[in-house]
Amino acid sequence: LGIDAGVTTLHSSYDDLVADDSLDIVYVATPSLRHVEDSLRCLEAGRAVLCEKSMAPSAAEAERVLQCARRQQLFFCHGVWSRFFPAMADIRRVIDSGAIGEVRSVHCSFCQADGAGACSATLETGVYCAQFCLWAFGGAAPRVAGVTYALHPESQLDTHVSALLQFPCGGVGTIECSLGHASPREATICGTKGVLRVPYPFWCPTEFSVQTMSGPASQQWSEPQTYRTALPEIGGDFNFVNSQGLAYEASEITRCLRSGLLEAPAFDSEACLRVMQVITDIRAHWLPPTPVVS
Amino acid sequence: LGIDAGVTTLHSSYDDLVADDSLDIVYVATPSLRHVEDSLRCLEAGRAVLCEKSMAPSAAEAERVLQCARRQQLFFCHGVWSRFFPAMADIRRVIDSGAIGEVRSVHCSFCQADGAGACSATLETGVYCAQFCLWAFGGAAPRVAGVTYALHPESQLDTHVSALLQFPCGGVGTIECSLGHASPREATICGTKGVLRVPYPFWCPTEFSVQTMSGPASQQWSEPQTYRTALPEIGGDFNFVNSQGLAYEASEITRCLRSGLLEAPAFDSEACLRVMQVITDIRAHWLPPTPVVS
């Protein structure tokens, strides 16, 4: 188990693992509905944590984990790896340059057809859409203006969710996640002068393009200007597209730990909680509020 | 005026025009907020009418026109030219073949950056989005699950509207229209097995493509299968993209008139009213209900 991958130490239980003082950080990558419990266990044992998305099923549960990290003065990061891709910084530079004018709407979908009933679409793929929309609009908290959802008939987990978000600047986001059907899994940022497109897979992007649109009925389009970044050259087999890009997250988390930071600037607890609040507001359409054990 | 275009008769007033018994049909293409008045004037004078979109600002006003046509036993068609493009029939065949599985969501946007304040985004471009979504789901009336909008500060006309639609089958549509910013102006139909994309300009399509998605996390994509139809070969200058395709509508309306039909099967009064009802439900978010003069 793990020996082939260069693992030097194996622990026979989670309790043994978190008691290991030689660890710099624990990467919590258990099934997502265990993340709160496992993150708290690590933090309470004195371990810094990088927790896979979604770190919690709600903003209140996320807040519990973040408070524990603050109390313990330990580094914690919600591992939304998108935030660490160089393309995201490139997109930000293009937006800030005014190339597409003022950002007015963002649309993204992340639907896949092979997981319905086993987990929650909002927690599995919706969190990527929500974080992208919030990020594109600079992070301000939106209002959820509408939600449609479908629940799995047996597990009652959400299989398909679409939501309409309205941002304080007046801009609009539409997001769609599903574990029961396909979608292009692209993101589009629409501005007053043109459009920026992030093709599949938008949540771990290596490419995007910009087109300006002008003239009567916006019918004059510029040639698309395409921006590309190469992935880190890492060999081996991966289960998911662009997994090599996890190296960006790992590298930045290492830098944060070495610098003594308690949060990663690219996705700090404030940004994380805003995303979790949107997810919570969306899920409130079918879930009763959960009492938080503190 | 018009002589160069082969016009043989000119009338000095609308009243003279509608009194001309030699006319088979009047094409009402006045500014859209005049359409109800002008359509009624024609119908009451005994003329069949093809009325440019949007035929009315609300379902109630549309119903007034349709009732007048029925009372007069005259042909009337709401000229949403999309419905007459051969590509639409081709798309329907592909959907019915099961190539993308069961249709679960449809997204389309029609935003252009040069008309804010002069007209209503929902009436100008939103009607194309609404009709496409309804058509993709086979025509059943959806519930409007959420709306965001922005009004022009001076004219108070809607400049940007996004809406989330839920269909009786559980499927979802997201539509966006704007006269103040750009968008890709594409349509996407997402199914349980894959995705059908209609690129710009989706409302007068000559091309679409189909990709199936399978395997873990739907990461195996088929090569896109692309379908194309040539536009009618019509010379001259046009103001808008694919205007040659107006010939499809003209040809079908001619066939309807010659066959003695009172409605065009491709966009009959029932389909028209469903679209107008969605537009009305969306516009109800900022407009008070308008009393209808009957």
User: CA geometry: angle at A114 spanning A111 and A116, to 5°?
Assistant: 80
Mean pLDDT of A226-252: 95
The secondary structure of residue A125, as a DSSP letter, is I
User: Which residue is associated with the tokens 């599985």?
Assistant: B101
Pair A223, A95 in one domain? yes
**Average pLDDT of the segment spanning A47-65:** 97
pLDDT over 70 for what percent of chain B?
97
- Any domain includes A237: no
Q: How far is CA A3 from CA A10, A18, A213, A220, in A?
A: 9, 19, 55, 58
pLDDT at A174: 98
DSSP result, A73-100 = T--EEEE-GGGG-HHHHHHHHHHHTTTT
pLDDT digits (tens, 9 = 90+) for B53-91: 999 999 999 999 999 999 999 999 999 999 999 999 999
Count of structural domains within chain A: 2
Whether the pLDDT of residue B290 is over 80: the answer is: no
List C-alpha distances in Å: B139 to A100, A134, B122, B135, B268.
36, 34, 19, 5, 11
| Contact call for residues A64 and A36 (beta carbons, < 8 A) | yes
**A164 close to B172: Cβ distance less than 8 angstroms:** no
Question: Last residue of a domain, which of B184, B201, B228?
Answer: B228
B105, B160, B178 member nearest A176 (Cβ): B105
pLDDT in tens, B23-49: 999 999 999 889 999 999 999 999 999
Residues of A in contact with B241 (CB under 8 A): 217, 219
Same domain, residue pair B92 and B183? yes
ω into residue B168 within 30 of 0, thus cis? no
* Whether residues A162 and A190 fall in one domain: yes
Average pLDDT over residues A42-65: 97
Q: Are residues A119 and A137 in the same domain?
A: yes
A72 & A15 share domain: yes
Q: Which residue has the higher pLDDT, A290 or A144?
A: A144
B90-121 pLDDT tens trace:
999 999 999 999 999 999 999 999 889 989 99
Side chain identity, residue A116: A
Q: Do B216 and A166 touch (CB under 8 A)?
A: no
**Residue A276 located in a structural domain:** yes
Contact: B181, A162; criterion CB under 8 Å = no
State whether B176 and A181 contact (CB < 8 Å): no
Mark whether A163 and A90 lie in a shared domain. Answer: yes
Whichever domain contains A133, its CATH number is 3.30.360.10
pLDDT given for residue A6 in this prediction: 77
pLDDT reading at B291 higher than 70: no
Per-residue pLDDT band at A23 (split at 50, 70, 90): very high
A208 and A188 in a single domain? The answer is yes
**Cβ contact, residue pair A217, B240, below 8 Å:** yes
Bigger pLDDT: B246 or A5? Answer: B246
Residue of chain A whose Cα is closest to the Cα of B224: A184
Examine the domain organization and report whether A62 and A164 are in the same domain: no
pLDDT, average across residues B278-294:
84
SS3 state of residue A158: strand
Mean pLDDT for all residues in chain B? 95
Does A115 share its domain with A206? yes
Radius of gyration of chain A (CA): 20
Residue A69's domain comprises 3-81+245-283
CATH code of the domain covering residue B64: 3.40.50.720
- Vertex B242: Cα angle to B241 and B243 (nearest 5): 95
Dump pLDDT digits (tens) for B190-226.
999 999 999 999 999 999 999 999 999 999 999 999 9
- Structure confidence by residue, pLDDT tens digits, A146-197: 999 999 999 999 999 999 999 999 999 999 999 999 999 999 999 999 999 9
Instruction: Tell me the C-alpha distance between B245 and B230, whole Å.
Output: 10
Question: Is B238 part of a structural domain of the chain?
Answer: no
Q: Would you say residue B198 lies in a domain?
A: yes
Q: What is the DSSP string of A183-234?
A: ----EEEEESSEEEEE-SSTTS-SEEEEEEEESGGG-EEPPPEEEE-PPP--
The pLDDT of residue B294 is 58
